[in-house]
Amino acid sequence: MKLLILIGLVLLIIAAHQLMRVVELSREFKKTKEWHITDSDNSFNGKLMLFIGGFGLIGFLFWQINRWADNSLPGAASVHGLKIDTLWDYNMYLIIVVFVLTNAVLFWFAYKYAGKKGVKATFLAHDNRLEMAWTIAPAVVLAGIIIFGLKYWNEITERSTDPNKVTIELYAKQFDWTARYAGKDKVLGSTDYRQIDGGNSVGLDTLDATGYDDILVKIEFHIPVNREIEFKMRSRDVIHSAYMPHFRAQMNCVPGMVTEFKFTPNKTTAEMRKDPYVIQLMAGINEARAKKGDEPIEFDYILLCNKICGSGHFNMPMTIVVESEKEYNAWLAKQKAVKTIETK
């Protein structure tokens, strides 16, 4: 049986070789060489380019956008996040318009100016006006984007002056987060990395009495709606990144220094769960979970590490609960202060 297969393969190779010889011999009888491009060839390729370009642009504008639009984040849940979303939208509109126009012109020109016998293309070595146009126009557009981007960045990173702010420290380590709240004195205690041990996981300075009433929480932390939240971030080991996608906020947590940003949440967790887009999004997620036999889940705001910080990087999500001032105060009153650290 194996011998018959081998003979069949040999005969197939011989037949293919003879077929190629026939093709080569047939070319000898043509008046033009096989590498000669005719007007009909150019016309066919031009029409083919027009078809491919049109099909591709229609696919992008309708299928791609429709297919992936429902996988985007829900609307921003912070005051500055609304501005970030607006800037994002303008960027996307600009990119889409430029992409569609340039590609439409590209494929149309491939069709309109298909090669014809006796027609020569115009050779343009240089044009100052054209060079100025495609240098100045992008520069102006990009300058506008950068100016507004820096403005919004400064708003989120500048030092808070709100006397009613809530200050929270996010302490990152491989592989979890700890949120630290100021106690009744409204002051976060100072820290000293040399004092980190099993009973002092965030390195509170045991000689600083202002830290004795600080509150440490894990798994989830709470913040009040419509009130400025100031975050101070530290890292014990490697660079982590505090990423809160629903609030359009992200900042690196760098060992040996404190980084900061602030935002004002404008939607509670309960309000976001009633958002039509979130309801649709969670329905799709829970449908997929049901197929795997998993329990359904509810929408939650989330804190992620957005730097690959090691093998347990995937294990660093922390739930954020946004609630009313009354609910927040009730939750905070139930948390225990750090009073068990002995002064050394």
Q: pLDDT tens per residue, the chain (344 residues)? A: 778 888 888 889 998 888 888 777 776 666 666 667 777 888 888 889 989 888 888 887 788 777 777 678 888 999 999 999 999 888 988 988 898 899 999 999 988 888 888 888 788 888 888 899 889 988 998 898 899 888 888 888 888 888 888 999 999 999 999 999 988 888 888 888 888 888 888 888 888 888 888 999 999 999 999 999 999 999 999 999 999 999 999 999 999 899 999 999 999 999 999 999 999 889 988 998 899 988 999 999 999 999 999 999 998 999 999 999 999 999 999 998 876 444 44
d(Cα 306, Cα 244) in Å, to the nearest integer? 9
d(Cα 43, Cα 72) in Å, to the nearest integer? 42
Contact 141, 97 (CB under 8 A): no
Give the β-pairing of 166-173 and 229-235.
parallel
Identify the CA nearest to 192 among candidates 136, 137, 234.
234
d(Cα 166, Cα 186) in Å, to the nearest integer? 9
List the chain domain ranges.
39-116+129-157, 166-334
Identify the CA nearest to 211 among candidates 343, 98, 14, 49.
343
At which residue do the structure tokens 């709240």 appear? Answer: 181
Q: Is the peptide bond before 175 cis (omega within 30 degrees of 0)?
A: yes
- C-alpha distances in Å from residue 242, one per residue of 61, 77, 302: 34, 16, 10
The structural architecture, per CATH, of the domain 166-334 is Sandwich (2.60)
Q: Could you give the maximum distance between any two Cα atoms of the chain, in Å? A: 102
d(Cα 237, Cα 100) in Å, to the nearest integer? 46
